[in-house]
Amino acid sequence: MADTVKNNLEPQLNRRGFIKGCTLAAAALGLSDAMIPKVVEAAATAERPRVIWLHFQECTGCTESLLRASHPDIGRLILDIISLDYHETIMAAAGHQAEQNLHDTVDNHPFILVIEGAIPTKDNGIYCKIAGKTAMDILAEVAPKATAIIAIGTCAAFGGIQSAAPNPTGAVGVQDLVSDTPIINIPGCPPNPISFLGTILHYLTFKRFPALDKLNRPLFAYGRRIHDHCERRAHFDEGRFVEQFGDKFHKLGYCLYKVGCKGPETFSNCPVVRFNDVDAWPVSVGHGCIGCTEPNFWDTMTPFYERLPMIKIPATGIVASADKIGKTILAATAVGVGIHGAVGIGRSLIKGKKQTPEA
Amino acid sequence: MATFEKQQCWSVLLRLFHWMFALSIVFLVVTGFYINNPWSNTMIEGSASFPMAMMRYIHFIAAYTFSGAVLIRSFLYIFGNAQEKVIDVLPITKRNINNLIVTLLQYCYISDKHDERLGHNILAGLTYLFTFFVAITMICSGFFMLFPEIPFWQGWGLMLFGSQQSARFLHHILMWWFMIFVVIHIYLCIWNDVKSPEGVISSIFTGVKFTHKS
């Protein structure tokens, strides 16, 4: 009976769940099933890589998203797979002890650096300070010693909402400040924890990071457009669109293209892996993609319910769609042409037809 | 009695370029409008209609025609005949600068003087050159959107435009230039044909212009 209690009720390990998590990560990475034992072995190894997780200008949404990861869950991740030496939200240490943990790892051990949040650079970076130091200084101190940097979330990758126009704090992503350390961007607002965990497990299994696209995003998660894997894609090709939210086409589950879905210009695995174990993602529940994994998405993907950004004409306060401005200019051109022609005809009527030698 | 002589002006290749360019633009603009904001909605499911896919298909065929036309024009800008070379329309010689001024004065009805020359006047030539570069931007942004996953286009596209969405926005704004251009272009061709009997309109079909016999 004692053994049964130990096997069933001991909270620390559930091998079934662990294997399940590794299998899911292997599938997300596109590995064959023959590789699963290696992933399991790598994830279960005694040498857990040290991870330092720094928070800068952010909302902690990426951490919140990770806390809801299930394969593996956050407990398994930080207790069995990685050694999370510093993470402001979930570490037990506080104050000087926390700072000591951070410096001990930075100075004495190889580690992977995870950064969440953008870094303000204006006015010497005073808009984000932790333990009396600016985010810029902390990054400059820690980043060169890291094995690699994982920029989690769109803020850390590309600046995110902090860097949206007019960018009052001069916020930038990690890749704008760090050049010598390899950087992997896991953008999203928030990113799917599968993409982050897949990257970590890939590193543990192969001792190198996964293949990246030109924006340093792992191809296994950001290699395809949302549009190309969307369950509503057939409605797009067949010309069946939601005209406005709540109409009968919306209830029939038609394509959200005309209500501003940014799936055609956004790279992510959302339609495939979905979120939080409930097989849901924005488009499946009737809301278009807002393009949160792309650079400058707050500036270029808004308005979220229109296909294209508005044009702002400087110094006039005019904000209008490209088509409205285009039509206005085209009409003005037509009017100009008309006036020009009328003037020409009027002139020849007044002056009389000039007798040219050819005539 | 005034006498004119026929002069070969535009090569077959240039005329081919012009009509490939013109026709593809018509198809690109119409299908482009549909792709940006589809005006139809298929009410019946399973009706074997495929409007968006068809519009995109036509758009891509027209886009390759357009790219071919631009390729021909860039060849002619370097290796074409005297009227077709880019050097003929740049305001860098005294003759060309003079032509630009005379053309502007004539278009503003300030002077009736017409500078007769076989090729483009400089104002038109510069507008075509500008349109040529707009066309290249359209091709780059278009291929970036068509092949977003190919490393070549991904690298260049991100360098030039920043993201898929920025490329799409630029692609859409620049389309309006072509429509504005068409209005002015057709008007001024007719205007010039009325003003001076060079045969400017027929020259794009026949390649022949008429000049005064000296």
From first to last of its 214 residues, chain B has per-residue pLDDT tens of 568 888 999 999 999 999 999 999 999 999 999 999 998 887 777 777 889 999 999 999 999 999 999 999 999 999 999 999 999 999 999 999 999 999 999 999 988 888 888 889 999 999 999 999 999 999 999 999 999 989 899 999 999 999 999 999 999 999 999 999 999 999 999 999 988 888 899 999 999 998 887 6
- Residue A133 confidence (pLDDT): 92
Which tokens is A287 given? Answer: 């809301």
Higher pLDDT among residues B147 and A277, named by residue: B147
Q: Which of A226, A236, A251, A308 to mutate to test the interface with B (most CBs of B within 10 A)?
A: A308
* Residues in chain B, total: 214
Residue B5: strand pairing partners: B211
Contact between A135 and A142 (Cβ < 8 Å):
no
- Exposed / middle / buried, residue A223 (Cβ in 10 Å: 0-12, 13-18, 19+): middle
Report the gap between the CA of A347 and the closest CA in chain B (Å): 9
The answer to whether residue A303 neighbours chain B at the CB level (below 8 Å) is no
Which of residues 267 through 286 in chain A touch B, CB cutoff 8 A?
Answer: 267
Q: How far apart are CA B196 and CA B205, in angstroms?
A: 18
CA-nearest residue of chain B to A266?
Answer: B164
- Please check the confidence at residue A2 and state whether its pLDDT lies above 50: no
- Residue A353 confidence (pLDDT): 61
Which residues in A203-219 are b (16+ Cβ under 10 Å) and which e?
bbbeeebbebbebbbbe
Q: How far apart are CA A300 and CA B213, in angstroms?
A: 59
Contact between A22 and A201 (Cβ < 8 Å):
yes
- Residue A161 confidence (pLDDT): 93
Residue corresponding to tokens 């002006």: B9
CATH entry, A13-222, from 3.40.50.1100, 3.40.50.700, 3.30.200.20, 3.40.50.720: 3.40.50.700
Q: Give tens-digit pLDDT for A72-131.
A: 778 888 877 888 889 988 888 888 898 898 999 999 888 999 999 999 999 999 999 998
- Exposed / middle / buried, residue B99 (Cβ in 10 Å: 0-12, 13-18, 19+): buried
Ranges of each domain in chain A: 13-222, 226-302
Neighboring chain B residues of A258 at a CB cutoff of 8 Å: 37-38
Categorise residue B109: left if φ over 0, alpha if ψ from -120 to 50, beta otherwise: left
Report the gap between the CA of B180 and the closest CA in chain A (Å): 6
Which tokens is A19 given? Answer: 């294997």
CA-nearest residue of chain B to A241?
Answer: B41
- Residue A340 confidence (pLDDT): 92
Residue A59: strand pairing partners: none
Of A199, B133, B143, the closest CA to residue B151 belongs to B143
DSSP A211: P
- Residue A59 confidence (pLDDT): 92
For A51-107, the DSSP string reads: EEEEE-BS-SHHHHHHHT-BTTBHHHIIIII-EEEEETTT-S--HHHHHHHHHHHHH
Q: Give tens-digit pLDDT for A302-327.
A: 899 998 888 888 878 788 888 889 99
Neighboring chain B residues of A215 at a CB cutoff of 8 Å: 158
Neighboring chain B residues of A223 at a CB cutoff of 8 Å: 149
Q: Is B59 helix (H, G, I), strand (E, B) or coil?
A: helix
Question: Is B173's CB within 8 Å of A311's CB?
Answer: yes
Which tokens is A303 given? Answer: 């308005």
Average pLDDT of chain A, as a whole number: 86
Higher pLDDT among residues B49 and A220, named by residue: A220
Residue corresponding to tokens 């992997």: A184
Which of A291, A329, A358 has its CB closest to that of B165?
A: A291
The β-bridge relationship of strands A148-152 and A183-186 is: parallel
- Residue B130 confidence (pLDDT): 97
Question: Is B112's CB within 8 Å of A358's CB?
Answer: no
Question: Is A308's CB within 8 Å of B169's CB?
Answer: yes
CA-nearest residue of chain B to A242?
Answer: B41
CA-nearest residue of chain B to A291?
Answer: B165
Q: Which of B159, B164, B185 to mutate to test the interface with A (most CBs of A within 10 A)?
A: B164
Ranges of each domain in chain B: 4-35+50-212
- Please check the confidence at residue A356 and state whether its pLDDT lies above 70: no
The answer to whether residue A56 neighbours chain B at the CB level (below 8 Å) is no
Question: Is A294's CB within 8 Å of B163's CB?
Answer: yes
Contact between A241 and B38 (Cβ < 8 Å):
yes
Q: Give tens-digit pLDDT for A249-272.
A: 999 999 999 999 999 999 999 999
In this prediction the pTM is: 0.87
Neighboring chain B residues of A354 at a CB cutoff of 8 Å: 112
Of A181, A189, A180, A65, the closest CA to residue A118 belongs to A189
- Please check the confidence at residue A1 and state whether its pLDDT lies above 50: no
Alpha helices in A187-320 (DSSP H): 193-206, 219-222, 233-237, 248-251, 270-273, 297-300
Chain centroid to CA A332: 41
| Cα–Cα distance list, B9 to A27, A177, B46 (Å) | 64, 57, 54
Question: Is B173's CB within 8 Å of A337's CB?
Answer: no
Report the gap between the CA of A111 and the closest CA in chain B (Å): 30
Question: Is A214's CB within 8 Å of B151's CB?
Answer: yes
Q: Give tens-digit pLDDT for A143-191.
A: 999 999 999 999 999 999 999 989 999 999 999 999 889 999 999 999 9
Neighboring chain B residues of A266 at a CB cutoff of 8 Å: 164
CATH of domain B4-35+50-212: 1.20.950.20
Interface residues of chain B, partner chain A, Cβ below 8 Å: 2, 4, 36-38, 40-42, 45, 49-53, 107, 109, 112, 145, 148-149, 151, 154-155, 158, 162-166, 168-169, 172-173, 175-176, 179-180, 183-184, 187, 191, 197
Neighboring chain B residues of A325 at a CB cutoff of 8 Å: 176
- Residue A355 confidence (pLDDT): 54
Cα angle A307, A312, A318 (rounded to 5 degrees) comes to 110
Which of B49, B173, B183 has its CB closest to that of A333?
A: B183
Report the gap between the CA of B151 and the closest CA in chain A (Å): 7
Which of B41, B112, B173 has its CB closest to that of A322?
A: B173
Kindly report which listed range (A200-209, A328-337, B124-133) carries the lowest average pLDDT score.
A200-209
Q: Quote the crossing angle between the two packed helices B122-146 and B51-79, to the nearest 10°.
A: 130
- CB contacts < 8 A, A to B, total 112
Q: How far apart are CA A262 and CA A254, in angstroms?
A: 15
DSSP B197: T
Largest pairwise CA distance in chain B: 72
Question: Is A354's CB within 8 Å of B112's CB?
Answer: yes
Residue A184: strand pairing partners: A150
CATH of domain A226-302: 4.10.480.10
- Residue A313 confidence (pLDDT): 81
The amino acid occupying position A342 is A
Report the gap between the CA of A102 and the closest CA in chain B (Å): 36
Question: Is B45's CB within 8 Å of A240's CB?
Answer: yes
Q: Is the dihedral of CA A168, A173, A175, A180 positive or negative?
A: positive
- Residue A91 confidence (pLDDT): 86
Complex-level ipTM = 0.87
Contact between B83 and B207 (Cβ < 8 Å):
no
Q: Which of B163, B179, B187, B192 to mutate to test the interface with A (most CBs of A within 10 A)?
A: B163
